[in-house]
Amino acid sequence: MLSAVFLAAAASTVAAYGGHSSSVISTYPDLRACAAQPSVFSCENTTVIENTCCSPTPGGLVLQTQFWSTWTGLEKKGQKLPKGSWTLHGLWPDNASIPCDGSFESYCDASRQYDPTPDASTTFPAWTGPGIDTFVEKFGRYEMLDWMNKYWINQGAPNADFWAHEFSKHATCTSTFDVKCYGPNYKQHQEVVDFFDAVIRAFKQYPTFDMLAAFGITPSNSTTYSLSQIQTALQSQTGAVPFLGCKNGTILSEVWYFSHVFGTESYGTYKPLDSTTKTTCNASLPIQYLEPLDLTMITLNFGSQKGESATRRALSELSLSVAKSKKIVVVTGAGISCSSGIPDFRSSDGLYALVKEKYPDVVLKGRDLFDASLFRDPTSTAVFHTFIAQLKQSIDAAEPGPTHHFIQTLDSKKKLVRSYTQNIDGFEARVGLLSSATEEAKGKGKARLRVKDVKNVQLHGDIHSVRCRSCSAEYPCTQAHLDVFLQGGAPECPECLARADARAARCARSIKVGVLRPAIVLYDEPHPFGEEISAIQTADVGRKPDMLIIMGTSLKVHGLKKLVKDFAKTVHAHNSPGKVTAAKKHAGKVIFVNRTPPSSEWAGIIDYHVEGTTDEWVERVVEDWKRMRPADWEVQKTLVAAENGDVSMSSPFKVVATTKNKVAKKDTKKKPRTNGENVPPPPEPIPMELGSPEVVIVEKRAAAAIAPPLSPSKRRQANSHYTPESSPSKRRTLSPMKGLDDSSRGLLFTAPTSKTKPTSKMDVDLFDDDEHRPVKPVPQRRTKRAVPAADL
């Protein structure tokens, strides 16, 4: 009877894998010999076991163990975590002495030691032979290998090494996988395949992910759970409380299911029981069940492309993706200006190291010279002024590099949404990109620019400008300013001086005159255009960019990190599941170009890390772009007749090159009605004979009496809103050169000369060209009623 139970269980196990083919050698022991064994579970047996091949001995307490990992360490080589499942750890036979105390043996058979990295519990040498996966291949169990590579995952090493470790350490210490159990028909390594079958079968009995999800416990980086919640969810579905392991007591990472086995691990019945090991999770603290990291970042070493064809192909694919993308956001740092002779900040020969070397007695770290607290000390302030003046002289003598010209190329090809830079050198403006710190971008009134016209946002200010520390007035940095800065001083603010002189002329109290400083943003200092930059970023996210290129930055500044993550999330939205089109294949990429790799924080955010200089990469992109999509670089030629030539084939012509533009789309917007539309035709003139000079007035009155009145929505509007025809309530008209006197107008003073102060130094106008900013109504100011002199 017991044999029949085992055979039925074996049949179900084979069915779970789709069954073995008839050509596969049977690796199962003779089950008929197990019929004489006690019909009790392993640890509950008190009699002598005559056939140890039928019941695990001495390890009668069986532990099915699982991991919850967030990374594998070999994602670049294709080793990934399964989705919606925990990963398999092993099947451990703990000792079945009375009582089952949880102790265990390990590495019990030196002849079957296949572990390439045995742990300290054994003196057995490391295995140097073929991998244990080749043992499985001999039996044609390729479907088993596929399953194991998906769910039985190692960390930082090949999966097969982990499988060999589990077999050598645990399977060799349980009697059911002894070689002697197979008799004369034994085939080498049959017990290895059977052990793997048993491990997989036990793992499938405990679908931890699904059991927790049934109680609303799912991986989350923000939601936490209590230990009792997790234990209750698993106990209610297995009948026992398993062991739960937590890193640092609060991060869920492991689960062990304890069982007694009725028969062998491969075919027997499992009886769950409570854990004999105390949990390592803190019962009084919230438990984190973290989401897996999507560590799929691909690193392409630009220097190895000559020798590795795979790297060359991957770089060419990236170039094609750039060429096919339509909305690209570029984020840059100091690394893109290194080829121009401008040092970066954090490298060994960067600005921080230079400052520390030059001013060791003033700053403890090079970063201190770029902190807003430096203005508290006159010495550090003087050093800052001198250093920045010298840096500006170096920038003025340098020229933009290939990366700056590449960004301008993206703009000329209508692919650039916006460039965001940490740099203060202003090279983007010198290649033709209008920057947020330029005077044109900060114009007033009609001179203001719309946001879409500003193609480069300077996140840390501009070294070519100076700003007053008192009134925040900004001016272009001139040579006169530099001369003062080089001496460690600070020029006085012209705006403050003018106000001070005006007050002195009125004999008013004097005010403090501010001094100028370089208009760059320091650490722990609010950005003067923070609100405008935030509005620009929000607008750009709304435009749904399909590619993000990050170049020459270490991604260490908090504000920049948030900006990059926001854009990366929007870009990755293009990778939503669905039909993969040719356009979708190249969209949705986040590319990081830098000589040093990003930190682990950017796993799942950055898709490609191109290891090399930015200039090398952009030159490669342009080269591939021209080769793979030459039509994007074609120039349309137009024949224009010469001034003295005839328009004929024999006449001289000039060849004028124009860029190839796309056909303009038809304007489908409804145009506003003109003043002449929907107006009834004028009435027939009535013949009249008038001898007086008032003939014109009478004709007008006659026409007004005959013509039907216009509806208010279609009333003719003249150029001025203050004519009697268009605004009857304002019929009193005055000569344009003469107005009412002040007493008639009810004013106590002459007309004010100051204009309304703009709400912002940058015009953040997010409306289209055909739309107009809504005009806010001007509130009417109530004045107090004048009190009669008699009442005073």
Of 313-317, 326-330, 460-464, 644-648, least confident by mean pLDDT is 644-648
CB atoms within 10 A of CB 140: 14
Q: What is the pLDDT of residues 645-660, one digit of tens each?
A: 554 444 444 444 555 5
pLDDT of 476 over the 50 cut: yes
- The CATH fold assigned to 2-204 is Ribonuclease Rh; Chain A (3.90.730)
Superfamily name with CATH number, domain 343-397+461-520: SIR2/SIRT2 'Small Domain' (3.30.1600.10)
Q: Where along the chain do the CATH 3.40.50.1220 domains lie? A: 297-340+399-460+527-633
C-alpha 542/C-alpha 533 separation (Å) is 14
Q: What is the pLDDT of residues 587-608, one digit of tens each?
A: 889 999 999 989 877 877 899 9
pLDDT of 782 over the 80 cut: no
C-alpha 412/C-alpha 222 separation (Å) is 43
| Catalytic-labelled residue, pool 189, 460, 481, 586 | 460
Name which CATH class applies to 297-340+399-460+527-633: alpha beta
pLDDT number for residue 292? 85
Residue 262 three-state SS: strand
- pLDDT above 70 as % of the chain: 67
Tokens of 613: 């200089």
- pLDDT above 90 as % of the chain: 45
C-alpha 335/C-alpha 497 separation (Å) is 40
Q: What's the mean pLDDT in 340-346?
A: 78
Q: What is the pLDDT of residues 376-432, one digit of tens each?
A: 888 889 889 988 998 999 999 999 999 999 999 999 999 999 999 999 999 999 999
The β-bridge relationship of strands 608-611 and 298-301 is: parallel
Examine the residue annotation and report whether 481 is marked as an active-site residue of this protein.
Answer: no
CB atoms within 10 A of CB 707: 13
User: Per-residue b/e over 434-455, b at no fewer than 16 CB within 10 Å?
Assistant: ebbbbeebbeeeeebbebbebb
Residues 6+ apart with CB under 8 A from 61: 42, 43, 93, 94, 95, 96, 100, 102, 258, 259, 260, 276
Closest C-alpha to 423, from 487, 494, 345, 489: 345
C-alpha 68/C-alpha 252 separation (Å) is 7
Q: What is the pLDDT of residues 546-579, one digit of tens each?
A: 999 999 999 988 889 999 999 998 998 887 555 4
Higher per-residue pLDDT: 789 or 260: 260
Higher per-residue pLDDT: 701 or 203: 203
Q: How confident is the model at residue 485 (pLDDT cuts 50, 70, 90)?
A: very high
pLDDT number for residue 139? 94
Higher per-residue pLDDT: 330 or 366: 330
Q: What's the mean pLDDT in 72-77?
A: 69
Whether the Cβ atoms of residue 298 and residue 284 lie closer than 8 Å to each other:
no
Higher per-residue pLDDT: 668 or 283: 283
CA atoms within 13 A on the CB side of 744: 5
Q: What's the mean pLDDT in 82-111?
A: 83
Higher per-residue pLDDT: 475 or 648: 475
Would the CA dihedral through 625, 631, 632, 633 be positive or negative? positive
pLDDT of 249 over the 60 cut: yes
Q: What is the mean pLDDT of the chain?
A: 78
Q: What's the mean pLDDT in 134-142?
A: 94
Closest C-alpha to 104, from 63, 46, 65, 47: 63
The β-bridge relationship of strands 416-421 and 456-458 is: parallel
What's the first-to-final CA gap in the chain, in angstroms?
Answer: 118
pLDDT of 51 over the 80 cut: no
Say whether the peptide bond before residue 158 is cis (omega within 30 degrees of 0): no
Q: Where along the chain do the CATH 3.90.730.10 domains lie? A: 2-204
Q: What's the mean pLDDT in 38-62?
A: 73
pLDDT of 242 over the 60 cut: yes
pLDDT of 766 over the 70 cut: no
Q: What's the mean pLDDT in 684-710?
A: 52
Higher per-residue pLDDT: 254 or 104: 254
Q: Tell me the C-alpha to C-alpha distance, in Å, between residue 231 and each of 258, 259, 265.
A: 14, 16, 25
Of 182-186, 531-535, 772-776, least confident by mean pLDDT is 772-776
Tokens of 525: 């200092």
Q: How confident is the model at residue 77 (pLDDT cuts 50, 70, 90)?
A: low
CB atoms within 10 A of CB 311: 19
Whether the Cβ atoms of residue 660 and residue 633 lie closer than 8 Å to each other:
no
Q: What is the pLDDT of residues 699-747, one digit of tens each?
A: 555 555 555 554 444 444 444 444 444 444 444 444 444 444 544 444 4
pLDDT number for residue 94? 83
Residue 261 three-state SS: strand
Q: How confident is the model at residue 309 (pLDDT cuts 50, 70, 90)?
A: confident
Q: How confident is the model at residue 56 (pLDDT cuts 50, 70, 90)?
A: confident
Tokens 């059991």 sit on residue: 211
Strands of 360-439, DSSP E: 416-421
Higher per-residue pLDDT: 582 or 558: 558
Highest mean pLDDT among 115-124, 227-236, 494-503, 782-791: 227-236
Tokens of 236: 């209610």
Of 53-67, 147-161, 181-195, 500-514, least confident by mean pLDDT is 53-67
pLDDT number for residue 387? 87
C-alpha 493/C-alpha 523 separation (Å) is 23
Q: How confident is the model at residue 185 (pLDDT cuts 50, 70, 90)?
A: confident
Of 93-107, 108-122, 617-631, 760-774, least confident by mean pLDDT is 760-774
Higher per-residue pLDDT: 695 or 67: 67
Q: Where along the chain do the CATH 3.30.1600.10 domains lie? A: 343-397+461-520
pLDDT of 688 over the 50 cut: no
Would the CA dihedral through 692, 693, 698, 703 be positive or negative? positive
pLDDT number for residue 752? 45
Would the CA dihedral through 158, 162, 163, 168 be positive or negative? positive
Tokens 């083919």 sit on residue: 21
pLDDT number for residue 744? 44
